[in-house]
A = this chain, B = another copy of it.
Amino acid sequence: MPSRPATRARTGLRVTINIDVVLLAPSGGRLAVFAPQVDRARRALPTGAPRSGESLETAASRIARAAVGGSVAWLEQVGTRLEGDAARVLFAGLVVAPDAGDEAWIARERTNTVGAGARRLVDEATAAAGIWLDRTPVAFRLLPGAFTLSELQEVYEAILGRTLHKASFRRALQSARLVTPTREWRSEGRGRPAQLYRFVPRAPKASRRGVRFDWLSRAP
């Protein structure tokens, strides 16, 4: 049996620590990324550093709120990387859809126009958001208290980046008993008016799905 040194480093590498925040918002069935202009020619993602004694989560929340000037529906750590003598912690957040003309938000597909490497960060953040969507009721925080099922589905489609089957979506929603209809209907220009629903927070169901062997990525 090989020797096993008890690796107990008393002191680690000294670095400066920074936080990058990718803020995503579903908007018109697509994902928008918060990347405001920082000077004449460049956009950048929100960045900051934790203060002494502050947790990473608190710092990221502060940075995110300062950036969008409002509340953030969801914020979670995605990963950390070393760049030279700096450690950069990536957070991803979800925000309610911005106003249509807001120049600080750009379409997810145009993330190339932000600095090099931003594309990768946005991709990681988007993947993380898709996982939350499957595991938490985060979508309901991105909508007003009363919403139509089409709006809810649009949020899902924006974050997942694919269209969903309408009937299946509603069936799954109904069997989960997650929403209750209100007596209101909303007419949105043309077409039949849509009924408004409210989110009903529920105790988690003890669902145990079977094992899945249809993983998506390569065999590493």
5 A-B pairs with the lowest CB-CB distances in the bound complex, closest first: A2-B69, A12-B49, A176-B213, A207-B214, A12-B18
Q: Is there contact, CB below 8 Å, between B13 and A9?
A: no
Please tell me how many copies of the chain the complex holds.
2
- State the Cβ distance, A17 to closest chain B Cβ, in Å: 5
A63 at the interface (CB under 8 A from B): yes
* A16 x B11 contact (CB < 8 A): yes
Decide: A9 and B15 in contact? CB cutoff 8 A.
Answer: no
Identify the stretch in A106-114, A163-171, A181-189 within 8 Å (CB) of chain B at 4 or more residues.
A163-171
A218 part of interface (Cβ distance < 8 Å): yes
Chain B nearest CB from A198 CB (Å) reads 14
Interface size class of A (residues with CB under 8 A): 35 or more
Given contacts A134-B215, A172-B210, list 5 more A-B pairs with CB under 8 A. Answer: A7-B63, A12-B49, A14-B15, A50-B82, A133-B211
**Shortest distance in angstroms between A54's beta carbon and chain B's nearest beta carbon?**
7
Interface string of A30-56 (1 = CB under 8 A from B): 000000101000001011111110111
B18–A16 touching, CB < 8 Å: no
A–B complex contacts, Cβ < 8 Å, 20 sampled: A4-B36, A4-B68, A7-B48, A8-B38, A8-B44, A12-B17, A12-B86, A14-B17, A15-B17, A17-B82, A80-B89, A134-B212, A135-B217, A168-B210, A169-B211, A175-B213, A204-B216, A204-B217, A204-B218, A206-B216
